[in-house]
Structures are given as C-alpha cells and as structure tokens.
C-alpha cells in the first residue's frame, strides 16, 4: 500500500517496475555463501512454524551457487502487477493470507487487509550546523533520536576530538543513552499518544539533558531517567535503499520484517514471509523486546495502532540541495548507526567509504553497555572501561547505504561491506 501511495512520484509505471522482481522469483537467482548460511540456520524453525512447506526448506542444505526459485511469490507479484494494491489486499492473495492465518490460529481477517490504509506524514526536519536533516517522523523513533543525539553534541567541538577517540566515543555514547531513555518513555504512534516532539527536540531541553554529562567518567543508566517535560503526557531483517537521480531527486527507503525472516512463517501458496512486528510494541512497561528496548504506555498495544520502530531513512541537504542519502537495517542500532555515519562525514571529514566501513558502536540506555564491532580500537575500549563503561564485543552493526553528492553533478555511492550489498549507477 505504501509503494502504491508513493507511486505518484515515480517516473515509471508500477507494472514495469515490478517485472524484474517477477523474473527473479519465477526464474530464480543464485544465492551467495552468506545467504546459504542464513537459510541453513533457519531450517528447523521453517519446519516448526509453517503449515505448508515453503521453498526455503532444503533437507540436503543450501550451498553457495544454488538457485532459489520462488514460483508462489512470482504468482503473487503477477497479481499485484495486474490489479495493483488490490492484487495483494483482495482476491486470491487475500484468500491465501487469511487461510494461512486460520491454519496458524492468527487473527488477521479479510476486512483487516481490505481496510488497511497507508499514511502520509510530515518528515521530521532539523538543522545541524547549516545542514538540513530530513528524517522519519513518528511512529518511527529514528528521526527524533537522530535529532536529539546530533543536537546534544553540536556545540562540543567533537570534530577536534578525533574519530574513535575515547573523548568522541564517550560524548556520543552519553548522547545516545539520554535519547534512548526518552524513547522508552515518550515515543509511540502519534495518532494514539500525544508524543511531545517539540519539547523532546527543544534546544534548551537537550542542553539540560547533558547537564550531568561528565567527560571523565560514565553516567550510569540507572542515574539517567527520561527527561522531565512540563507537558510530559503531550531487525534485524530490515532493508534500506538509498536512491538519487540525475535531477537530484533523492529517496531513502527503509522496510522491515523486524527480526531476521520475521515470524519465519510463509503464507502458503503466496510465497512471502509474515513479519513479527508486534515485538516492536511494549508488552508492558519495563519489559524489553528482542532488541533489549524498554517501552511504556506511549507504545502499548492497541487495535489499529502502529508500533514504534527504529527506522531512520534520512536525506541531508547542503545549501538546500541533496548532499547525503543514508539509512540502514539493524533494529535499535539503526539511529545510532546513522548518527555515527553523519558525524563521520560532517564532523570528522571522513571519506564516504570509511564512514560506512569503519567499526561502529552502540548504546541504547538499557542494557547499560557499549556494543562494539570487531576491529574497534582496543586502546579506546580500554580507556572507556576505566571510565566505567562495560564494553561488549558483538557481531556486525547494521549495513549502512550512503550516497554522497559531489561537485559537478557527480555521485559517490557506498554499499556496506557487512553484507551482500551493492551500489550501482547508470
């Protein structure tokens, strides 16, 4: 529905745009080593959660170079090509969807599918040192978190501290933990909860949040509460695309199944995975989700409500023209990855490639620890540990895709080497 709603801005008709996907599904494509490993790690759950055996099950195991053919998905895409959004939300695809729900004791009905409507929302826009940052609004926390973190460091001359210096990392971590504390208390679907966006992003408020920042030691998360507002009650299976054309039209798109392969359940006969996005709601105050994120009443489950996400597709303007197009998958690490990428380019003057490829770190208030990727500087980690920061080695953080506009109408596109990502121009 979102794709068709935004198609009014497209240059090509949808039936032409969808055909390459139909071809890939119908004729198959050769899978990579990492894709084979990912599918092999999924076999037990595919057998456990599916009422109709999907094409992703292969008893002998997948290997690099195998061809994955998805006939059911191809037929679903053909129905969408022929009938538009109704080819998904009504007719044969809807029938297959609802029958899958019944077999799995799900509750999604024909009316739920037919009545779903996408929403256009005003982007969250803010200024950072003369750059205009255009980010995603509620019900994604990504834009507000990015705004808060950027503004908390803006007047502290982080550029002079140096990339991945203990001082720079510590400052960014303290900004991250304060922003995520606010996320837990105040952020949710603005249609159901009055999210105090203007107060959360007020410059005076954000500077007040940093009053107890100490550049010599950690501020434990148990001492960091959500900020006090005068009007207080006012996955990692995500895909990101950054696109720009010769006229300078820039698009940042993030779409998600939430966890890897979502619910691991494929709609029988239709060929697509169902997400497990319900995990992005707060089950109850103080109980973490699969990413360890804490939430409260603002993000409580309610019929018709959209769950709080972390998606952060972002466009940065310089002199009111596109300068950066950026985004990433990664669950709650998405906003911090975009934050670091922007700081790397704008403050540290790094090349786009280094800004994407260099090891990243992440802090989200709770749990009270810094996650770091392999290759993160050991000396910086040692200094941070002495300052009181628990540091945890973890796997890769996100897969950031960046386009940078260069002088002379040239583009620099970098696809993250953390995955089978790709950058192309034509």
Cβ partners under 8 Å of residue 131, min gap 6 = 316, 317, 318, 323, 346
- Sort 412 into a burial class: Cβ within 10 Å, 0-12 / 13-18 / 19+: middle
User: Are 336 and 176 within 8 A, CB to CB?
Assistant: yes
User: DSSP string spanning 244-296?
Assistant: E-TT--EEEEEEE-SSTTTTSEE-TTT--EEP-GGGGSBSSTT---TT-----
Q: Which of 238, 265, 336, 352 is catalytic?
A: 238
φ/ψ (deg, to 5) at 28:
90, 165
Do 276 and 283 contact (CB within 8 A), yes or no? no
Distance between CA atoms of residues 214 and 224, nearest Å: 13
Phi-psi region of 282 (alpha: psi -120 to 50; beta: other; left: phi over 0): beta
Let me know if 238 is a catalytic residue.
yes
Tell me how far apart the alpha carbons of residues 120 and 274 are, in angstroms, rounded to a whole number: 23
Residue 128 vs residues 149, 208, 405: alpha-carbon distances, Å: 11, 18, 18
Active-site residues, by number, are 238
């Amino acid at each position: 529905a979102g794709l068709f709603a935004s198609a009014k801005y497209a240059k090509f008709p949808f039936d032409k745009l969808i055909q390459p996907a139909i071809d890939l599904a119908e004729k198959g494509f050769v899978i990579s080593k990492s894709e084979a490993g990912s599918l092999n790690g999924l076999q037990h759950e595919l057998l456990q959660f599916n009422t109709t055996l999907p094409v992703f099950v292969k008893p002998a195991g997948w290997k690099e170079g195998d061809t994955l053919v998805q006939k059911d998905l191809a037929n679903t895409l053909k129905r969408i090509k022929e009938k538009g959004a109704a080819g998904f939300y009504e007719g044969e695809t809807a029938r297959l969807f609802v029958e899958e729900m019944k077999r799995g004791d799900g509750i999604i009905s024909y009316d739920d599918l037919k009545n779903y409507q996408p929403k256009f929302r005003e982007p969250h826009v803010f200024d950072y040192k003369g750059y205009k940052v255009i980010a995603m609004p509620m019900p994604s926390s990504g834009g507000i978190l990015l705004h808060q973190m950027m503004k908390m460091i803006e007047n502290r001359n982080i550029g002079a501290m140096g990339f991945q210096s203990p001082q720079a990392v510590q400052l960014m971590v303290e900004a991250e933990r304060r922003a995520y504390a606010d996320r837990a208390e105040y952020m949710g679907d603005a249609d159901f909860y009055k999210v105090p966006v203007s107060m959360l992003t007020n410059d005076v408020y954000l500077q007040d949040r940093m009053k107890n920042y100490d550049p010599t030691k950690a501020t434990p998360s148990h001492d960091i509460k959500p900020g006090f507002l005068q009007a207080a009650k006012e996955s990692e299976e995500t895909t990101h695309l950054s696109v720009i054309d010769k006229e300078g039209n820039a698009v940042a798109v993030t779409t998600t199944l939430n966890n890897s392969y979502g619910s691991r359940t494929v709609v029988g006969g239709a060929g697509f995975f169902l997400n497990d996005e319900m995990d992005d709601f707060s089950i109850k105050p103080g109980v973490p989700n699969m990413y360890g994120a804490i939430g409260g009443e603002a993000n409580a489950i309610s019929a018709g409500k959209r769950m709080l996400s972390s998606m952060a597709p972002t466009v940065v303007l310089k002199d009111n023209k596109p300068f950066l197009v950026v985004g990433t998958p990664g669950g709650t690490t998405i906003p911090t990855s975009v934050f670091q990428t922007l700081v790397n380019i704008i403050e540290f003057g790094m090349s786009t490639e280094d800004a994407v490829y260099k090891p990243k770190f992440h802090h989200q208030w709770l749990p009270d620890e810094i996650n770091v990727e392999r290759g993160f500087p050991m000396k910086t980690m040692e200094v941070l540990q002495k300052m009181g920061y628990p540091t945890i080695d973890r796997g890769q953080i996100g897969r950031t895709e960046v386009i940078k506009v260069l002088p002379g109408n040239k583009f620099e596109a970098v696809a993250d080497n953390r995955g089978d990502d790709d950058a192309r121009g034509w």
